[in-house]
Amino acid sequence: MVLLLISLLVFIRYAAANNPSKAIRTFHAMDRFKIIPDTEAFFILLRALCKHGNIEEAEEFMLINRKVFPLETEGFNIILNGWCNISVDVVEAKRVWRGMSNNCVTPNATSYTCMISCFSKDGNLFDSLRLYDEMKKRGWIPGLEVYNSLINVLTRENCLKEALHVIDKIKETGLRPDSSTYNAIILPLCEAHKLVEARNVWANMVREGLKPTITTYHAFIGGMNVEGTLEMLSQMREAHCGPNSHTYLLVLNKFFKLGQPGNALKMWLEIEKYELLPDSAHYAALIQGLAACGWLMKAREFYAEMRSRGFLDDPELEKLLREPLVGNKCHKGGPLQNGNEDIRIPCTKGHIRGRKVFRPMKR
């Protein structure tokens, strides 16, 4: 039993270190220690590989070992979840969905939930509703996650009234909407700069006795000017819901995206006010943003400050600060005004140096 646990921990660690080949070799090596890997261990490896972005390797491993571990719904669901909710690749998700049918594997409620989630994130309202109807016809009861996905895609497709009706539908089924349900409406509204409608939904959420999450606050911050951002940061602290490290990365990237390095520096001064010490990711985002906006002298000052605080040398940043910029990659624009007409599309995903995003190769 101890050796089994050790083996599981080892291949999970290899998967987390983005080394799928060693994780798989460790799984096969269990036989040498007279440990026969069972289906549960097999699924644990598949989940570990998918969780850390090695979805293609996980799928290949599942198919290669089909004689030892027959193909079944749970295995396909793990792969589906990887493509639908980790990588969010609707093309690959549809391919795996077809593969289930080709291998005579029947999808269950989890399978439908994954696919509806993927279509929702892709903005595909038609297929989201089609699978929802098909799911019910086959006798599977939609859970809250399915309804949240429908709410999100309806809002993105400018069907706010219908999205609100889905909340009533949730209550009729005996389920209880949670913060993620309302966030599914608030996020796309904020991205579309419909802040008035978003605030109304926020008010409804509070009336239902639900507290805004840090995701809720981040959604509003993405579409606000300097004053609105500061106000939201203050509300977060009062509600004991952040701000955290990611909050400031989001804010910095947003103002650099808008071509407003001055406002980004104002936000930088707020970090220490909220008892948050900037880390290497904050410095990298700040220095890259300043350099991209042509503020090389300021960028060099902050790089020197970063080094003085004990952070390691960064060859890429040093190269960026040493070489003259060709053109200005920063969008032009003055400080944000109070009016909604000056709100631009926020950089909600960010472009933070050092954050590795694994994208599996297409077959």
Neighbours of 108 (CB within 10 A): 15
Average pLDDT of the residues in 43-61: 92
The confidence score (pLDDT) of residue 177 equals 96
The confidence score (pLDDT) of residue 210 equals 95
DSSP 149: H
332 — pLDDT class (breaks 50, 70, 90): very low
Residue 16: pLDDT above 80?
A: no
The confidence score (pLDDT) of residue 355 equals 35
Dump pLDDT digits (tens) for 304-326. 999 999 998 888 898 888 865 55
Structure tokens at 143: 């859970």
286 near 270, Cβ under 8 Å? no
What gap in Å lies between CA 165 and CA 296, rounded to an integer? 52
Residue 173: pLDDT above 50?
A: yes
The confidence score (pLDDT) of residue 114 equals 97
Structural domain boundaries, residue 236: 212-354
Q: In this structure, is residue 343 part of a structural domain?
A: yes
Average pLDDT of the residues in 67-90: 95
The confidence score (pLDDT) of residue 339 equals 31
Residue 20: pLDDT above 50?
A: yes
Residues 229, 235, 237: CA angle, nearest 5 degrees: 105
Dump pLDDT digits (tens) for 30-39. 666 566 778 8
Mean pLDDT, the chain, integer:
84
pTM of the model: 0.80
Residue 195: pLDDT above 90?
A: yes
Average pLDDT of the residues in 88-104: 96
Q: In this structure, is residue 15 part of a structural domain?
A: no
From the list 302, 303, 322, 301, the residue with the least C-alpha distance to 312 is 303
Q: In this structure, is residue 73 part of a structural domain?
A: no
As a whole-number percent, the residues of the chain with pLDDT over 70 amount to 82
What phi-psi label fits residue 333: left (phi over 0), alpha (psi between -120 and 50 degrees) or beta?
left
337 — pLDDT class (breaks 50, 70, 90): very low
Dump pLDDT digits (tens) for 265-307. 988 888 777 777 889 999 999 999 999 999 999 999 999 999 9
Average pLDDT of the residues in 256-273: 87
**Number of folded domains that form the chain:** 1
Q: In this structure, is residue 314 part of a structural domain?
A: yes
Q: In this structure, is residue 245 part of a structural domain?
A: yes
What gap in Å lies between CA 99 and CA 153, rounded to an integer? 26
CB within 8 Å of 359: residues ≥ 6 apart: 53, 87
Instruction: Determine the residue type at 194.
Output: K
Q: Kindly report each contact of residues 57-62 with a partner whose C-beta sits within 8 Å and lies 24 or more positions away, as own/partner.
A: 57/20, 57/21, 57/24, 57/360, 58/20, 58/82, 59/96, 61/24
For tokens 């991209």, the residue is 292
How far, in Å, are 6, 62, 94, 131 from residue 144 at the CA level? 36, 29, 22, 15
Q: In this structure, is residue 350 part of a structural domain?
A: yes
The separation between CA 52 and the C-alpha centre of its own chain, rounded to angstroms, equals 13
Residue 135: pLDDT above 90?
A: yes
Average pLDDT of the residues in 45-50: 91
Structure tokens at 150: 């429908």
Q: In this structure, is residue 8 part of a structural domain?
A: no
108 near 74, Cβ under 8 Å? no
Structure tokens at 121: 């994130």
What gap in Å lies between CA 101 and CA 360, rounded to an integer? 23
363 — pLDDT class (breaks 50, 70, 90): very low
The confidence score (pLDDT) of residue 22 equals 74
Residue 75: pLDDT above 90?
A: yes
211 — pLDDT class (breaks 50, 70, 90): very high
Residue 346: pLDDT above 70?
A: no
Q: In this structure, is residue 333 part of a structural domain?
A: yes
